[in-house]
Structure formats: C-alpha cells, structure tokens
Amino acid sequence: MNLSYWEQKTWLNNIDYAVVGSGIVGLSTALHLKIKQPNAKIIILEKGLFPQGASTKNAGFACFGSLSEILKDLESHTESDVLELVGQRHKGLQLLRGTLGDDALSYQQLGGYELFLEKDELLFDTCSQNMKEVNSLLKPVFKADVFSKVSNHFNFSRIQNQYIRNQFEGQIDTGKMMQALIKRVQELGVIILNNTKVERYFEHSDKIEIKTTHFELSALKLIFTTNGFAKQLINEDVQPARAQALITKPLKNLQIKGTFHLDCGYYYFRNVDNRILLGGGRNLDIKGETTTKLAETEKIQQSLENILKYTILPKIDFKIEQRWSGIMGVGSQKKPIVKQLSNHVYCGVRMGGMGVAIGSLIGKEVSEFF
C-alpha cells in the first residue's frame, strides 16, 4: 500500500510506543502510558475490525474465581500465590471501576453463584468442607467471608439443592466497557488502527521496525498485549483457549439475576437484557479448543443448549439468537506474564480467562516499565 505524505506524517512518524492488540490490556497500557507521558506518541495496532481475542466477546463477569476453581488452583499453586492472584483480580476490578465509573460499565453487584450438577455431589461436599478455610485465606483481601451456601431459589433443575454464593461478584456490559476505554484513550490522543496485523518485527539498537499487512513503521518501544495470540510473535508460555458462547432471545419475566458458574467454571451464565448468556464447554474438547480460530462447534453448542434446556430454563420455551466465540490466553501457571523481552520489546499476556478482572491492572503494570 502506498501511503500519502499526510498519512505517513500524521499517523506513522515519530512513534514512541507501538502496542499490539486493542483489548483491555492494550488499551489500559496505552491509557496509563499517556497519563504518565502526555506528549508521547502512542499507536495501537489491531489485526481485527474489533479486538480479536476475548475483550469484546466475553460474558462480562466481574469475578475472581469460583470456590471450586480456587480449590483447583490450590492444588498447583501455593496459598500465597492464590491469595496474590485473587488479590490482583480484585484490585484490577477496582481499578477498572475507578477508571471508567460504574455507569460506563453498567456494573451491578448481584452476586455470583456456583451450581453443582446432581452427579457432582462429591465436588459439592469438597467445596462445602473447604469453604471456611478458603474464606479465611481470602479475608485479607475482602475483610469478610466471601462464600456462603444458599438454597436453590432460582429453581434450577438437575443440580444439588444448594449453591455456593459469592457476595462480591458482579457483572458488566462488555461492549460499553470497551467503548468507554476506546473513547478515553482516543480523547488523550492515542491512535488506534484496526485491520492492521503485525507480521514481524526487527529490533535495532535505537528502534523497532514493524512490518504489518499494509505498511511498515518504526517505534522506540514495542509492547505485545495479544494474550491468546501471543505465540504468533513471541516465545512465551501462552496457549490459545477458545471459549464458545450463545445468547437467547428476550425472555418474559426472567427471574434469574446474577453470575453463575457450573462444572468447575467450565460453564458460566448470566442474565443480560432479559436474556440468558451462556458460555463454556471447552473441557469437552481441550485439544480442539486450543486454537486461535474464531468458530463454533456442534458438540459444544449442543452441550450449551442442553444445559439451557435441562438445568437453567427447564420449564421455559427459549430460542437462541446469536452464537460466537472468543480466544483467551492460558498457560501452565495462572499468573499473567508481564516482562521485558529485550531492549525495546515488552509484553503483558496470559490473562487466564480473567481479563475483565485483571486486564486493567496488567496494563498499568506494563506502563510502569517506562
């Protein structure tokens, strides 16, 4: 593509920071960099029309992990590591809310609930037995008990008679959040170029040369915030993890309100606009869902419909309006990777499915390298 003099001069010359990826982490990185360095020229390069990972495709859970997920993490992480992870997620949510405001997010703290299928009696008993211990572990973060048991007052079917409630969990409008973040960084003068894929880069002593699908540019610093797509350009412990979702058409007199977790967090659903948004099922085909391809599969979509039909809305006629998928970034550890990769290259990746909670904080941490 031959650029005009004006295009080159206005958008692509004298770039201080090039950020790859316009999701929560990329936008937050640019935001905090611009606050610290108002005169810096910052450009965000996004390969998609919208952010291609999960930032505009997630379920909008303002959460930090269900009880069963935390117990699972304790099997492979120390107590201090888990406390740090949960603390980061909580801190990240407070930063996001403080940065944009609850109205801009449509934030509601309706509470979260973990459901257990009839076949998962052992898991429910394990969670019940360890609930007091986990509440004690998390007390330094929340200053109160997080988890408690409540009855099945939403009348879900084929589950244990009680849920485990998380009083601190909330929900947001994902689209409004991203729109507000984009507006905020653009008001500060950050440039965002969509449909611009970074193909490769070359590091020199004083700058980085970046080749994209449309043009070449240079910047003083290059920052990767590509999460599940990170392996395409940097060599870090991050694997893509596709998450599929669907949403119903509006339902009359929907009484279900809150965020809900099922099957150790592999399924999750919530109310939004008098609909049920349901996602998950990646555990049915871990190998097949370790992909960066945005697509839906019959096997997982059918499992989502079955959960709707037999557990969530057993006595309600519903119709599916939309189906989609997003790409998360996971690895052998839950802790995000925030590091300097070379003299001029940095990254903030591997959100572990907790991008809404932790993305703002990781962006801020990346900005603190400079």
Which mean pLDDT values do the consecutive 10-residue runs of the chain (370 residues) have? 93 97 97 98 96 92 94 94 95 96 97 96 97 97 97 96 96 97 97 97 97 96 97 96 98 95 94 97 96 97 97 95 97 94 98 94 97
Split into its structural domains, the chain has a count of 1
Contact partners, residue 80, CB within 8 Å, separation at least 6: none
Question: What are the E-state strand segments in the chain?
Answer: 15-20, 42-45, 61-62, 112-115, 147-151, 162-166, 170-171, 191-193, 198-203, 208-212, 216-224, 239-248, 259-262, 267-272, 275-280, 320-330, 337-340, 345-349
Domain contains 363: yes
Q: Give the integer Cα–Cα distance in Å for 110 and 214.
A: 45
- Looking at the DSSP assignment, which residues form a beta bridge with residue 184? none
Residue 118 has a pLDDT of 95
Q: Is residue 282 part of a domain?
A: no
Residue (of 331, 324, 333, 239) closest to 290 by Cα position: 239
Q: At what angle do helices 67-76 and 79-100 cross, to 10 degrees?
A: 130
Residue 22 included in any domain: yes
Count CB atoms within 10 A of the CB of residue 76: 11
Q: CA angle 359-109-259, nearest 5°? A: 80
In a domain, 77, yes or no: no
Range of the domain at 348: 5-57+175-237+333-367
Q: Is the residue at 355 inside a domain?
A: yes
- Residue 224 phi/psi, 5° resolution? -95, 120
Query: What pLDDT score does 53 carry?
Result: 87
According to DSSP, the β-strands at 320-330 and 275-280 are unpaired
**Is 248 within the bounds of a domain?**
no
Q: Residue type for 363, please?
A: G
What would you report as the CA-atom Rg of the chain, rounded to the nearest whole angstrom? 21
> Which residues, 6+ apart, have CB-to-CB distance to 282 below 8 Å?
241, 242, 243, 244, 266, 289, 300
CA 256/CA 234 separation, integer angstroms: 43
Instruction: Look at residues 306, 313, 357, 312 and name the one whose alpha carbon lies nearest to residue 336.
Output: 357
C-alpha–C-alpha distance, residues 25 and 358, integer Å? 9
Where does residue 71 fall: left (phi above 0), alpha (psi -120 to 50 degrees), or beta otherwise? alpha
Residue 52 confidence (pLDDT): 84
- Distance between CA atoms of 67 and 134, rounded to whole angstroms? 8
Length in residues, the chain = 370
> Mapping DSSP to helix (H, G, I), strand (E, B) and coil, where does residue 22 land?
coil
Look up the pTM and report it: 0.96
Report yes or no on 283 lying in a domain. Answer: no
Backbone angles phi, psi at 361, to 5 degrees: -65, -40
pLDDT at position 267: 96
Cβ contact 262:115 at 8 Å = yes
Nearest to 60 by CA among 93, 20, 21: 93
Cα pseudo-dihedral 67, 70, 72, 76, rounded to 10: -170
Tell me, what's the pLDDT at 220?
Answer: 98
CATH for 356: 3.50.50.60
pLDDT at 315: 87
